[in-house]
Amino acid sequence: MNFPRSTGIVILFALFIVLLSVFGSFSALVNIPSLQLTRTPHASQGTPTFTVGIVEVVQHANPQHGEQLFNTVGCAGCHLQDNGAGPNMNGISGRAATRREGYNAESYLYESITSPNAFVVNEYQAGVMPQNFASVLSQQDVYDIIAYLLTK
């Protein structure tokens, strides 16, 4: 049976729409986080501000897994002592939102982990923290670590 070419295109388009709606329904059913972080320049300072969903993503992260990562990838050695190579993370949940103008705690911690030299706290040196966590850790690992830090 031969269909006119325009009918075939309509059928392919309809099939494409059905597949998109099935995939969208499936991802909603299994609650796959599909938020990606984007950064845009902050109007007054030219510093990055996270604009898409980091608070929501971190709310659904796993702080227990974050604690496990924090202790196994080397964070605890520098960040859980008063005279460590990096700022002590005890109490960071209260300080993180006040470190940089235009940043909430989640955005600040995300940037501190994935781009540690973007902002270095006074009294500490740039380049001390490993620069490769953005490529070594998955996005979910970073969110889990942030969720853990927000419990401190």
State the pTM of this model. Answer: 0.68
Please, which residues have CB within 8 angstroms of residue 97's CB and are 6 or more apart in sequence?
103, 104, 105, 108
Q: Which two tokens stand for residue 38?
A: 């984007």
- What pLDDT, in 10s, does the model give residues 55-106? 999 999 999 999 999 999 999 999 988 888 999 999 999 999 999 888 899 9
The residues that bridge with 37 in the sheet, in sequence order, are: none
Mean pLDDT, rounded, for 33-44 = 40
Classified by CATH at the fold level, domain 34-149 comes out as Cytochrome Bc1 Complex; Chain D, domain 2 (1.10.760)
Nearest by Cα to 108 from 75, 140, 146: 146
- What pLDDT, in 10s, does the model give residues 16-29? 555 445 444 433 43
